[in-house]
Amino acid sequence: MRRVSVLAVLPFLLGACGSGSSPSASASPTAAPGEAWVNVEPGRATPSAVTRRSGTFPPALPPVSFLPTSSACAIAWNEDVGQVLIPMTVTPGAGSLKVQWPARYGEVYRVAAVPQEIVSGAQPEPKWQTVTTGGGCTGSATISGLKPGAPYIVWLDAPDTPRGLDNSRSLYSGRSGVVKPN
């Protein structure tokens, strides 16, 4: 008996879904003036709605101004994603190397002159020298006791440099090319 009552009501339910006439959307009182509406007709392609606006609009972002910087702090700086290489200026001296760098990552740095001569067996560990910059724009250190004319690469370590995705840090944060003390 339930089957008969459901079947008897079915035509009325289906008739409520639509009368077969073509539906169309029309502007309602809540629509913004000047905005186009898309009319939908069965069997016909409907173009996308295009919003046309005119007039002037404020910029999406506020203007940006930068604080003035001292020329003493203006050292060229290239930073790749995930890798920090602090630029250095290395000046050879008599059995020494003077190293300068921008102090961007804190006040404590380590610097070492790594010998580039071929050594058989285990390589000697670098002799790190700790340097405190005092919060200025640049750091500097002089590495002395070096063999005149011998090739070295200067490594600079800034313990406060950003860490990699795996929380690791490179052994150095900056390095020079090959330099030779006088």
What ranges do the domains of the chain cover? Answer: 100-179
Q: How far apart are CA 109 and CA 134, in angstroms?
A: 11
pTM of the predicted model as reported, rounded to 2 decimal places: 0.55
Domain 100-179 belongs to what topology? Immunoglobulin-like (2.60.40)
* pLDDT averaged over every residue in the chain: 74
For residue 99, give both structure tokens.
């190293």
Residue in the structure block whose two tokens are 């071929």? 118
Res 152 pLDDT > 50: yes
User: Residue 82: left if φ>0, alpha if ψ -120 to 50, beta else—which one?
Assistant: left
pLDDT of residue 155: 94
For range 130-156, the mean pLDDT: 92
Contact of 173 with 88, CB cutoff 8 Å: no
Which one, of 86, 60, 70, lies nearest residue 140 by Cα? 86
Res 91 pLDDT > 90: yes
Residue in the structure block whose two tokens are 């939908």? 40
